[in-house]
Amino acid sequence: MLKDKVIIVTGGGGGIGEGIAHVCIDNGAKVVIGERNDESGQRVAKELGENALAIACDVSNDEDLDRLIEFTVASFGRIDGVVNNAGVNFSKPFMDTSSDDWQDVISVDLRAVFFLTQKTCAQMVRQSPAGGSIVNISSVHSVAALPGAGPYDAAKAGVVGMSKSIAIEMAADNIRVNCVSPGLVNTQIWQDLLAAAPDMDECMAFWNSNIPMNRVIETREIGEAVCFLLSDKSSAMTGSNMMVDAGMTSQLVSREPFESSSIEGS
């Protein structure tokens, strides 16, 4: 679906970003990984083969964003797609959250998405043929919340609203902007959560009870959704927020740990 398309994936040195990068390569793309941990980025690029490159990039730094754009164009001649995936997680009680905490999360999870998208659109407008597709990784936190995640929830909801605005503005330039909102994904964060639980089986049972498909999502499954939005198969889609959450946000409450008898209306 992405034959010869040039795709940037931020935060591609692990987790969801690594899964996205693999799917893009499998679908014929040329991939540039922008990764703050350069060692991780270079490792993934090497695994992906000759059509993948990596560059050190802290997305909260505007000069690094400029270098990422310049490096990609110098290496492959154009940019057909960007996946704004790099992000930081956060959990702290509302009353304990500082202005520094707020700034740290917003600078990466929201501000960086805005300005890399802006810089990418400038390149997409001037290249020939013009246009491209931008996919911003939001979260189920864009429509629902957890306690202690105020800055993160604000950032992820902001990504969706911001993407809709940019999508409307850039549509005339043949630039599409969409979001993917993952649910619980099998990343290092999930593994750390399991390891920290007093009982791993009990922890898995609790989380599975909150997911209608009764399992966590694999990183490549997020990659497949992103690949679709980057491709011409989604040519009529812009301003959308695709929920890839195994049904999590469609469920009001977790399933009962018992079986009730039927209730029939009259």
Taking the chain (266 residues) in consecutive chunks of 10 residues, what is each chunk's mean pLDDT?
Answer: 97 97 98 97 98 98 98 98 95 95 97 98 97 98 93 97 98 98 92 88 91 96 98 98 97 83 77
- Domain membership of residue 193 (yes or no) is no
CA distances from 236 to 69, 134, 176, 232, 242 (A): 26, 14, 9, 9, 14
Structure pTM? 0.94
> Active-site residues: which are they?
152
In a domain, 178, yes or no: yes
CATH number of the domain at 105, please. 3.40.50.720
Could you tell me if residue 199 is inside a domain?
A: no
Kindly tell me the sign of the dihedral angle through the C-alpha atoms of 135, 63, 79, 15: negative
Residue 265 CA to residue 7 CA, distance in Å, equals 54
pLDDT tens readout for residues 42-74 = 999 999 999 999 999 999 999 999 999 999 999
In a domain, 14, yes or no: yes
How far apart (Å, rounded) are the C-alpha atoms in residues 47 and 72?
19
- Judge whether 129 lies within some domain: yes
Residue 205 token pair: 């049972």
Asked if residue 67 is part of any domain, the answer here is yes
In a domain? residue 202: no
What does the alpha-carbon distance between residue 218 and residue 182 come to, in Å, rounded to a whole number? 10
Q: Structural domain tally of the chain?
A: 1
The pLDDT tens digits of the residues spanning 219-252 come to 999 999 999 999 999 999 999 999 999 999 999 9
Residue 260 resides in a domain: no
Give the structural domain span for 102.
Answer: 6-185+218-247
The 8 Å CB, 24+ separation contacts for 247-251 are 247/211, 247/212, 247/213, 248/140, 248/183, 248/184, 248/210, 248/211, 248/212, 249/140, 249/143, 249/144, 249/181, 249/183, 250/212, 251/210, 251/211, 251/212
Question: Strand, coil or helix: what is 243?
Answer: strand
